[in-house]
Amino acid sequence: MKQKDVLEAIKGSGSVTNTIAKRLGVTWHTAKRYINKWEATKRAFEDEEQTILDQAESAIYQSIQNGNTQDAKWLLATKGKNRGFSERHEITGADSGPMEFTLKISEDLHSE
């Protein structure tokens, strides 16, 4: 398999390895090996993945502009977490580090 063949198979695949495998006429595992074989094919695969994510994100934004409140709620719950829009809240320590607790247990010395 030549690098140019793999690059061509990656174009427009949405970075779906199974699609690339079918285009190359090989198994999923073989396609994955070819994708990772050259730096140029690795980069092309990553670029393809970012392209499809950008397209999906654009579709969400367009849907919100068209009044889709479900998509708006989803976007707020994922990208708007830092503004408090989340169904769950994560609590961290300083600079997003782990929380540290000190537990002090005292014995009640007053017994009746």
* 62-97: pLDDT as tens digits: 999 999 999 999 999 888 877 877 776 677 888 888
In this predicted structure, what is the pLDDT of residue 4? Answer: 98
In a domain, 32, yes or no: yes
In a domain, 96, yes or no: no
For a pLDDT cut of 70, what percent of the chain falls above it? Answer: 92
Q: Is the pLDDT of residue 51 over 70?
A: yes
In a domain, 54, yes or no: yes
For residue range 36-50, list pLDDT tens digits in order.
999 999 999 999 999
In a domain, 16, yes or no: yes
Domain membership of residue 70 as a residue range: 3-85
- Stated pTM of the model: 0.66
Is residue 38 a contact partner of residue 3, using CB atoms and an 8 Å limit? yes
44 burial level (CB within 10 Å; 0-12, 13-18, 19+)? buried
Is residue 55 a contact partner of residue 48, using CB atoms and an 8 Å limit? no
Which tokens sit at 27?
A: 């198994």
**Total count of domains within the chain:** 1
In a domain, 23, yes or no: yes
In a domain, 102, yes or no: no
In a domain, 90, yes or no: no
In a domain, 46, yes or no: yes
